[in-house]
Amino acid sequence: MKHILVPLDGSSLAERVLPYVREIAKIAKVDVTLLQVLDDRGQEAFIAEDAMVAHADGKETSSPRRPPYDTDDAEYARTYMADMVADLSRDGIEAQSIIRVGQPAEIIVEMAGAAGTMIAMATHGYSGVRRLALGSVADKVVHLSEGPVFLVRGDVEVAEPRFHRLLVPLDDTPVAKQVLPCAIDFAEQAGAELLLLRAIQPFVDHYAELQPFGYTQPPDEQWLMEQRAEIKRDLLGHAELVRQRHAATRAMVCDGDPAEVIVEEAKRLCADVIIMATHGRSGLQRWAMGSVADTVLHHTCKPMVLVRAHHNHN
């Protein structure tokens, strides 16, 4: 990571990511660019998401830092961003600001195009029908960005950001393991412990899925035990390779639905951040394949780093 791009929109929700940005910038010794995108659809569209979020629960989840302003008022935006840059500069962080006009998600991804750039932003964290109704700039960014995206829940307050334990969920695919270089680098810079986690989904779930394809008999207990042992060996093998670069590494295997296990273990282990790969698909393809990373994002209170995986990666 060489650079951090931080989208802001003048709301306290968006600013929830800034304490983490300060710590990451100091740890990784990188500079920061603050980006404000004035939505070219006008003020109503620009603030619609926060307004709808407020009404969804009957309470306000994000209030403006200052009195509401017209999104076409570039002068106000410049003043606001200058204040944000000054706040970071007082902490010894090299920072600059950029103001653009356009569609927020597309502009954010475009500005983060340079290799080594990580996007850091807040998300409202809603899922299901409310998420579909509200839309989410953060959700769009995650599924468009080629680089890593650091996300925090805007509705969760943290007294002091920490990076002592990093939880890294893995599975048996090369896609998931593409997250390891990013996780190792982060752990090395922060002096953090890496927690490698493998969730084994109960075979009964797979059996139910396979029955329509002619699989009528579940495997015997011995086969299941052998498969579990093989999964453990695979994870321990990866843990040993990771330890060659970062000694403070642990590996663990848990039974259960992967997304549920990740959320529960992150809480039990007091993980400070979850780092995992996402396939980055969208629309029907994403819906058909499902996404553990997407489910975790909308059910955990922990910050996450989502790394775009490439399926042709060797």
Residue positions counted in the chain? 314
Lowest mean pLDDT among 56-60, 80-84, 217-221: 56-60
Q: What is the mean pLDDT of the chain?
A: 80
Cα dihedral 258/259/264/269 (nearest 10): 70
Which distant-in-sequence residues (6+ apart) come within 8 Å of 257 by Cβ?
199, 201, 205
pLDDT digits (tens, 9 = 90+) for 64-85: 444 444 545 678 889 999 999 9
Predicted pLDDT at 292: 84
Which distant-in-sequence residues (6+ apart) come within 8 Å of 57 by Cβ?
none
Measured between alpha carbons, how far is 192 from 206 in angstroms, rounded to an integer?
35
Residue 151 burial class via C-beta count within 10 angstroms: exposed 0-12, middle 13-18, buried 19 and up: buried
pLDDT at 49 > cutoff 60? no
Measured between alpha carbons, how far is 44 from 38 in angstroms, rounded to an integer?
11
pLDDT greater at residue 187 or residue 225: 187
pLDDT confidence of 115, banded at 50, 70, 90?
A: confident
Buried b (16+ CB within 10 A) or exposed e, 224-240: eeeeeeebeebbeebbe
Residue 28 burial class via C-beta count within 10 angstroms: exposed 0-12, middle 13-18, buried 19 and up: middle
Measured between alpha carbons, how far is 34 from 18 in angstroms, rounded to an integer?
10
Q: Is residue 285 within 8 Å of 301, Cβ to Cβ?
A: no
Question: Mean of the pLDDT values across residues 43-66?
Answer: 44
pLDDT at 35 > cutoff 60? yes
Helix (H) or strand (E) holding 151: strand 149-153
Predicted pLDDT at 16: 92
pLDDT at 226 > cutoff 70? yes
Helix (H) or strand (E) holding 165: strand 165-170
Q: Alpha carbon of 238 to those of 168, 176, 180, 195, 312: distances in Å?
A: 12, 12, 10, 12, 20
Lowest mean pLDDT among 53-67, 135-149, 172-186, 209-223: 53-67
Predicted pLDDT at 60: 47
pLDDT at 52 > cutoff 70? no
pLDDT at 266 > cutoff 90? yes
pLDDT at 62 > cutoff 50? no
Question: Mean of the pLDDT values across residues 7-23?
Answer: 92
pLDDT at 133 > cutoff 50? no
What 3-state DSSP class applies to 207?
A: helix
CA nearest neighbour of 38 among 138, 107, 133, 136: 107
pLDDT digits (tens, 9 = 90+) for 180-193: 999 999 999 999 99
Predicted pLDDT at 85: 98
pLDDT at 23 > cutoff 90? yes
Residue that is written with structure tokens 């695979």 in the block: 234
What 3-state DSSP class applies to 266?
A: helix
Predicted pLDDT at 38: 86
Question: Mean of the pLDDT values across residues 31-41?
Answer: 88
pTM here is 0.82
Predicted pLDDT at 227: 80
Measured between alpha carbons, how far is 80 from 20 in angstroms, rounded to an integer?
20
For 205, what's the count of Cα atoms within 13 Å in the CB-facing half-sphere?
7
pLDDT at 159 > cutoff 90? no
pLDDT confidence of 130, banded at 50, 70, 90?
A: very low
pLDDT greater at residue 102 or residue 164: 164
DSSP 179: T
Task: Report the DSSP beta bridge partners of residue 7.
Answer: 35
Q: Which domains are present in the chain?
A: 3-153 (3.40.50.620), 165-301 (3.40.50.620)
Q: Is residue 158 within 8 Å of 15, Cβ to Cβ?
A: no
Q: What tokens does 144 get? A: 């468009």
